Amino acid sequence: MLRNRLAMVLVTALAPAIWGTTYLVTTEMLPPHRPLLAAVIRCLPAGLLLIALTRTLPKGDWWWRALVLGALNIGGFQALLFIAAYRLPGGIAATVGAVQPLITAALSAALLSDRLTLRTVLSGIAGVAGVSLLVLRANARLDAIGVFAALGGAVVMAFGVVLSKRWVSPAPLLATTGWQLTAGGLLLVPVTLLTEGAPPTHYTTDNVLGYAYLCLIGAALTYAMWFRGLRALPPTSLSFLSLLSPVVATVTGWLALDQDLSPLQALGAVVVLGSLIVAQTQRPRTATPAPEPAPATEQGADAQPVRETA
């Protein structure tokens, strides 16, 4: 059982690790100043591809549930993420977004009856501190809209994770993933046209390769792994894995772009990894349900219930 859980954690962790390469691909291979277009091309074709492969459409309540989950996990999250990225330095955006595990833990306690433990809270605080050491800079400037967007992105993603755990789809995993990617991508289309205008008419080879990577690897593959992990792992444990993204983004920048890596950044990476390891080693705990009333006996309502023996 422990070996199976470890394997599931490691496979699921590949998703946020791959998402950590998005910054490198976006800055080095994609057209500048088109973040929402990148989000649309990343999500919508990937969703349509998965739907075409599975040939499965939502049924009944899953039409609106897929729309809600797609808006939270994909569309709303991506839009707020890119607003934060435009208005804030990457360090502040990543640090604010690192509160997502704590928000997920609180929502899991409220909606799924999971217990919010001190260990989870301390791990979440350590995760935020580790990310801040990893990516935050002393000269970073604050922007109110950007901060609220980053925080909103963490909130909608946390809601999406918890609701995905509460609403278990009867359809195959790839079909459910396709529904959400398609719904989120469709919701992003009008926002993209209003804010960025019509897409470019010319693309370089690097542009095409970058978009293909984000679509096939950064969306179709990774979201399937992420939602598969969500079906097997507690939502709070899953959310802690998202802290891998800024770690991988920093490491890839250091390796591929020759960026500096200070001792404080290395310490931050160690703290982040430690916090998510501690979070994964904690078994999920649910609130104890209230005992059901003892059934009536043949002696009538005045009869005393039989006491249980140890």
Backbone angles phi, psi at 300, to 5 degrees: 110, 180
Q: Tell me which residue range forms the domain holding 192.
A: 12-281
Q: What is the pLDDT of residue 299?
A: 40
The answer to whether residue 292 sits within a structural domain is no
Q: How confident is the model at residue 209 (pLDDT cuts 50, 70, 90)?
A: very high
> Quick check: 306 pLDDT over 70?
no
Q: Is residue 139 part of a domain?
A: yes
What separation in angstroms does the CA of 283 have from each of 6, 73, 93, 271? 12, 25, 30, 21
pLDDT > 90? residue 289? no
The whole-angstrom separation of Cα 291 and Cα 286 is 15
**141 is a domain residue:** yes
Q: Which two tokens stand for residue 69?
A: 């989950």
User: In 3D, which of 152, 167, 64, 51 has the Cα closest to residue 103?
Assistant: 152
In a domain, 5, yes or no: no
Express each pLDDT in 158-200 by its tens digit.
999 999 999 989 999 999 999 999 999 999 999 999 989 999 9
Closest CA to 226 of 83, 61, 103, 69: 69
Contact by Cβ (8 Å): 81, 131: no
What pLDDT digit, counting tens, does each position of 55-100 carry? 999 999 999 999 999 999 999 988 888 787 777 766 677 788 889 9
Note the pLDDT of residue 284. 56
Compute the mean pLDDT over every residue in the chain, rounded to the nearest whole number.
85
CA-based end-to-end distance of the chain: 29
Instruction: Report the SS3 class of residue 233.
Output: coil
Please tell me the pTM assigned to this model: 0.84
pLDDT tens, position by position, 138-153: 666 677 888 888 899 8
> Would 108 be classed as within a structural domain?
yes
- Amino acid (one-letter) located at 173: L
**What integer pLDDT is reported at residue 140 of this predicted model?**
61
* Cα distance between residue 244 and residue 131, in whole Å: 9
Percentage of the residues of the chain whose pLDDT score is greater than 70: 88
Is it the case that residue 301 has pLDDT exceeding 90?
no
Of these ranges, 144-153, 226-235, 294-303, the one predicted with the greatest mean pLDDT is: 226-235
Q: 87 φ, ψ to 5°?
A: -100, -10
Q: How many domains does the chain have?
A: 1
> Is residue 1's pLDDT more than 70?
no
Q: For the residues 215-242, what does the mean pLDDT come to?
A: 93
Position 303 scores a pLDDT of 41
Query: Is 137 part of a structural domain of the chain?
Result: yes
Q: What is the pLDDT of residue 283?
A: 65
Q: What angle do CA 134, 96, 280 make, to 5 degrees?
A: 70
Question: How deeply is 121 buried, as exposed, middle or buried, from its count of CB atoms within 10 A (0-12, 13-18, 19+)?
Answer: middle
* pLDDT score of 236 more than 80: yes
Structure confidence at residue 23 (pLDDT) = 80
pLDDT one-digit tens code per residue, 16-46: 999 988 888 888 899 888 888 999 999 999 9
Report the alpha-carbon distance of residue 288 to residue 273 in Å, rounded: 31
**What pLDDT is recorded for position 91?**
65
**Residue 3 counted as domain residue:** no
Question: Is residue 36 within 8 Å of residue 196, measured between CB atoms?
Answer: yes
The pLDDT of residue 291: 42
Give burial (CB, 10 Å; 0-12/13-18/19+) of 111: middle
Residue 295, domain member (yes or no): no
